[in-house]
Structure 1
């Protein structure tokens, strides 16, 4: 697949054509920077606490990038063994990481400048998350690994896009622009990972479909699953509940992503599968609609929302 992956490198942008965090932040060296920061803070003051919590959680997830690059390099046959390998896989890994690195940088600086977030509590959470790591259950298998990244990049794109929508609704159009930029990067990355798996299905449909099934059986582990601020042991669950309540990332989105990937990889039209692989094909084609029904059922039985305190916003409740 080396040649195929090399072709996908076009989905990465050159450094010269890439935005950088400071393109979307007040220039602190400019004359009148105090007025620029004041205007920036006035806009950010429009954001409700629940959107701030969703944004902080998304930023913390992005800031755990060292964990994600480490995991990419555990996939057998596609790792960057020296740190400067010239293989297409290694160039993809480093290029992807370089683009992703800007996401946490920009969101972190944005939140710092708002003056509305306890940045030390946020930094402690980032520290914990990187120390704790996370296990996507890929077991060093590139098939499972790239199914996971295909799913997760789409989930991240959805999350940032929805925060952009909510920011616009709250009157913070600048944050809408920032989250839209990040979502655009995630869309390109999603396309590449989805293409990788599409090629794997062409080469080894049985292996690919079993890998997809295995991940879906255990369900997708969110990359910030082991998030904690040292105080709340259920911090990720509380963050995820706020995101669900806001419509930033929901059980409906989870179901829709499964259905999207089934369509992208044309699972329903694969012929010649036998035994366990044929059973996996049937299972996967029915899985998305099944999760959609479960999500709908859960919506009907939702009770009054419980509020949670978040150290990120000085222990205010959301």
Structure 2
């Protein structure tokens, strides 16, 4: 019977796969800058600097688009929790550490560009948005149970796919070509992230297909 590998052994076995997929990711990703996707000419001061504070009539977004943008942004805001989860199950050494850092840096762009867009265009109430961010990040994210490496990788594979779809659909719901272009750029990142985790998950199944209960990993 095939012996189940320990978490450390599995990380070691997958190191070459991780390195290959880091190089693959870097060869496919395109550099972009959040400020290039925000219509800064639409911005103006709020009351604290002599301008006018937000009111609902200033937003051009539908209620559906507002809800989707806020939900997606708060998900992106919880990056510190996701970083901790990935770093704990991977490693900060070698290819694993390179990926954790690169993935975190790319994900951080998403919350930057989305928040800048919403504040500049006055798409949603910025005070309510900030209060929600504080609450959401304070509560953080925890997967629950005793999730191991394979559980975490399988979860994040599907999460990245779901996030990609959500950003693309939200861009269309906004009815604004600038928002659609911005969220298409974010979704392209999420797709590449999904591919990295999917490939790690597939390789893990090849290396260690047996779980203690006799079940295959949930990948």
TM interval, shorter chain, is 0.7 to 0.9
The residue matched to 2:67 in structure 1 has which SS? helix
What is the distance in 1 between the residues matched to 2:123 and 2:84? 32
What is the distance in 2 between the residues matched to 1:209 and 1:195? 20
Within-5 A mapping of 1:130-145: 130-137=137-144, 139-145=146-152
The counterpart of 1:109, out of the listed 84, 105, 116, is 116
* Residue matched to 2:80: 66
Q: 1:105 to 1:209 in 2, by over 3 A?
A: farther
Contact 2:39 2:121 (8 Å CA) reproduced: no
Question: What is the TM-score when the length of structure 2 is the normalising length?
Answer: 0.79
Contact 2:25 2:196 (8 Å CA) reproduced: no
* Residue matched to 1:5: 18
Tell whether 2:105 aligns with 1:98: yes
List gaps (5 residues or longer) in structure 1: 28-35, 39-43, 213-260, 262-318
List gaps (5 residues or longer) in structure 2: 1-13, 44-57
Could you list the per-position Cα deviations for residues 91-145 of structure 1 after superposition, in whole angstroms to 9, with x for gaps in the alignment? 1111000110100000000000112422122112111111111222362511101
Deviation at 1:186, TM superposition (A): 0.4
The residue matched to 2:217 in structure 1 has which SS? helix
* Residue matched to 1:79: 91
* Residue matched to 1:37: 42
Could you list the per-position Cα deviations for residues 174-226 of structure 1 after superposition, in whole angstroms to 9, with x for gaps in the alignment? 111011011100000000000000000111112395431xxxxxxxxxxxxxx
Question: What is the TM-score when the length of structure 1 is the normalising length?
Answer: 0.55
What is the distance in 1 between the residues matched to 2:123 and 2:99? 37
Deviation at 1:17, TM superposition (A): 4.2
* Residue matched to 1:232: none
What is the distance in 1 between the residues matched to 2:35 and 2:192? 22
Of the two structures, which has the highest relative contact order with CA contacts closer than 8 Å and spacing of 6 or more?
2
The alignment covers a number of residue pairs equal to: 189
What is the distance in 2 between the residues matched to 1:160 and 1:12? 20
